Amino acid sequence: MTVPPRDTALLAALKRSFGFDAFRPGQEAVVRDALDGRDLLAVMPTGGGKSLCFQLPALLRPGLMIVVSPLIALMQDQVRLLRESGIAAAFLNSTLAAGEASQILAAAHSGELRLLYLAPERLLMPDFLDGPLSRLVQGPGISAITVDEAHCVSEWGHDFRPEYRQLGLLRDRWPDIPVFAFTATATERVRADIVQQLRLRHAAIHVASFNRPNLFYAVRPKGAQAWPELLDRARNGGCGIVYCLSRKRVDELSARLEAEGIRSLPYHAGLDAQTRRRNQEQFIRDDAQVMCATVAFGMGINKPDVRWVVHYDLPRTIEGYYQEAGRAGRDGEPASCTLYFGAGDIRTAEFLISQKLDPNSGEALEAEQRIARQQLRQVLDYAQSGACRRTIQLRYFGEAFPGDCGACDNCTQPRTTEDWTLEAQQLLSCVARLAQRGERFGALTVIEILRGAESQKLIDRGHQSLSTYGIGRHRSLDEWRHLVRALLHQGLLAESTDGYPVLALVAESRAVLKGERRVEVTSAPAPRETGRKGSRTRRDKASTTAPVTGDAARLFERLRSLRKQIADAQAVPPYVVFNDSSLREMAQHRPVDSDAFAAIPGVGSHKLAQYGPAFTSAIRAFLAGRAADVEVGANPLEGPPHAV
């Protein structure tokens, strides 16, 4: 079969610049739309390679690509990675002196740069719009405006930033410049808001699967065994992140890990900016194994080899949890995500919600509190459910998943199931009877009707006259709540997400009501005993990296040491040199010449020239039975590794 010339050229550019022989699923379609100059919105999960989808077109389209990025750390990290691959990129932010910023703008005007990263605040300054940006449009030209982390545009997103909503002004001013929007998470509502706010025209919408098959999800009770389990997890190796709700918990856990010989650092807003930067840099350079942090840490951190993420406290939203847990395994290698859950978390979350107050009047922000409570209930449903963890997460984003993922605690250690078809019919029938009267209510009211509650509000509404009133007295309040969660997770019932959670039937409800479909529900979780010594679950199958054994394992560790020495000599994180996946390929295939080394995934033309001699020399030394370690303090790139 003959490969079309355009395909050949595109794949050649992919290999030359980024070292990959093929696109990941979903990437090529996005890249082709970008090359055609179409407005587009691409929703691709963390680790899905979304950055490449605008970086490769930036190299192939004429002109300079403007990239809008919300965080200094994010733009610095991406520019560092691009430069390491030999791609001309730069950023403009507050870390630069005036002279440095002028030099970067001069390089952009002269056509030397392919990508320029800016924060929205700087980009939208009138002086910048009328001055440098206008001259760039007229001079080398703007190939496209890329809005990274585009969920920040939407009020419905988990990280809304008001300045992002003003980016639509760019389309009004320069209507012929294509606009690309990229984000890792966005519900259907958020996607629609992004398209509207950025004024995207006839946009190509790409929504990749949110499934991260390399991640193992588990929920554990937060009892006396939580700390020993965390310590055991850290001692088993691999970089990890521990998320906590409070600064106090962050400091306590970090100190306890340090006392146990685990190199751990804290990160939260109570630390000064210099300390946060230093701790972050040590973590991404592998000088610390564990980062204990509040949610202030993570966005913009492109460390691909995080092997585990632990939420020691309950996350605030499902979307936030997906993002935070998704910082594990960005390299595609197996990783684990564990959430610890206890009753005290609910009280803490309720307290934090009650603190959402108007800063001027001190009055409760009722709308924000209402939405926050619904989001909390969604997280509680996730933590307490016996259903497939993936099914719950993906349904939140509107993606169907058949369940039985084989990589979560509920699927690998399933609970017993019971036939709740009759109760499901009763509940769905009650929702239907209310809808016939033009009424919609939340789960609690429906359950009160089923259980025949004699409250004044039910009497006032005439709910005692419903045929479903009192037919569910044989089940407890908690059992009915468990059924509601199960029906929502199985897609047999719907619930609004605007802060007023009311129930509604869906097309699939009819089959249950007509007796054409059975409803199997996992048994409601009984309270789990905590505090027992030795109370441990089976080690999850995604908790360690893919196995390399024997000589390959030894070579892998030597290559990791070589990578660390090169990275330290260049003052960059080790993953900027090569990620673990590339090193694992080297350890398994053992390339000893430039042609074989060029075939390793992640080796482009620039890295082949820069690092090929050092790594192939180290591999040859290993195969010859000599130690390939480099003398401490030496720069491995100045010559072949020294045998010791």
3-state secondary structure 284-334: HCCCCCEEEECCCCCCCCCCCCEEEEEECCCCCCHHHHHHHHCCCCCCCCC
pLDDT tops 60 at residue 639: no
Q: Mean pLDDT, to the nearest integer, of 326-330? A: 91
H/E stretch holding 164 reads: none
Q: Residue 522's CB: how many other CB atoms inside 10 A?
A: 19
Q: Which of 297, 541, 326, 302 shows the shortest CA–CA distance to 412?
A: 541
Q: Mean pLDDT, to the nearest integer, of 251-264? A: 96
Q: pLDDT-based confidence at 421, cuts 50/70/90?
A: very high
**Residues in contact with 281: Cβ distance below 8 Å, sequence separation at least 6, in sequence order:** none
Q: What pLDDT was estimated at residue 630?
A: 40
Q: Mean pLDDT, to the nearest integer, of 420-435? A: 95
**Residues in contact with 115: Cβ distance below 8 Å, sequence separation at least 6, in sequence order:** 55, 58, 64, 65, 67, 79, 82, 87, 88, 89, 90
Q: Residue 9's CB: how many other CB atoms inside 10 A?
A: 12
CATH superfamily of 215-406: P-loop containing nucleotide triphosphate hydrolases (3.40.50.300)
Share of the chain above pLDDT 70, in %: 90
Pick the CATH number of 417-522 from 2.40.128.20, 3.10.300.10, 3.40.50.1100, 1.10.10.10: 1.10.10.10
Q: How many residues does the chain have?
A: 644
Q: What pLDDT was estimated at residue 495?
A: 84
Residue in the structure block whose two tokens are 């039975």: 625
Angle, helix 421-436 to helix 443-450, in steps of 10 degrees: 110
What's the chain's average pLDDT? 86
Q: Mean pLDDT, to the nearest integer, of 385-399? A: 89
Residue in the structure block whose two tokens are 């922000």: 365
Per-state percent for the chain, helix, strand, coil, to nearest 5: 45, 10, 40
Q: Which of 268-282, 295-309, 318-332, 387-401 has the lowest mean pLDDT?
A: 295-309
Q: What pLDDT was estimated at residue 626?
A: 54
pLDDT tops 90 at residue 114: yes
Q: How far apart are the first and last CA of the chain?
A: 51
Q: Which of 283, 281, 254 shows the shortest CA–CA distance to 571?
A: 281
Q: pLDDT-based confidence at 531, cuts 50/70/90?
A: very low
pLDDT tops 70 at residue 343: no
Q: What pLDDT was estimated at residue 11?
A: 92
Collapsing DSSP states into helix, strand and coil, what is residue 171? helix
Q: Mean pLDDT, to the nearest integer, of 42-68? A: 92
Q: What is the CA radius of gyration of the chain?
A: 27
476/638: higher pLDDT: 476
H/E stretch holding 418 reads: strand 417-419
Token reading at 507: 């097309």
**What number of CA atoms fall less than 13 Å from residue 415's CA on the CB side?**
15
Positions of CATH 1.10.150.80 in the chain: 550-638
321/633: higher pLDDT: 321
Collapsing DSSP states into helix, strand and coil, what is residue 431? helix
Q: Mean pLDDT, to the nearest integer, of 237-254? A: 94
pLDDT tops 90 at residue 291: yes
pLDDT tops 90 at residue 295: no
Q: pLDDT-based confidence at 637, cuts 50/70/90?
A: low
- Contact 538/50 with Cβ under 8 angstroms? no
Q: What pLDDT was estimated at residue 46?
A: 78
CA–CA distance, 444 with 280 (Å, rounded to integer): 45
Token reading at 639: 């010559």
Helical ranges in 139-219 per DSSP H: 168-173, 188-197
CA–CA distance, 488 with 286 (Å, rounded to integer): 42
Token reading at 618: 């180290």
pLDDT tops 60 at residue 539: no
**Residues in contact with 98: Cβ distance below 8 Å, sequence separation at least 6, in sequence order:** none
pLDDT tops 60 at residue 382: yes
CATH class of 550-638: mainly alpha
206/526: higher pLDDT: 206
What residue type is assigned to position 285 of the chain? R
Positions of CATH 3.40.50.300 in the chain: 5-207, 215-406
Query: Model confidence over 471-508: pLDDT tens digits?
Result: 999 999 988 988 988 888 787 898 886 667 889 999 98
Collapsing DSSP states into helix, strand and coil, what is residue 239? strand
Q: Which of 9-13, 121-125, 541-545 has the lowest mean pLDDT?
A: 541-545
Q: Mean pLDDT, to the nearest integer, of 339-344? A: 83
CATH of domain 5-207: 3.40.50.300
Q: What pLDDT was estimated at residue 131?
A: 93
382/296: higher pLDDT: 382
Q: Which of 488, 433, 437, 604 shows the shortest CA–CA distance to 86?
A: 604
Task: Say which DSSP state 526 is in.
Answer: P
Share of the chain above pLDDT 90, in %: 51
Query: Model confidence over 572-612: pLDDT tens digits?
Result: 888 889 888 899 899 999 999 999 999 998 898 899 999 99
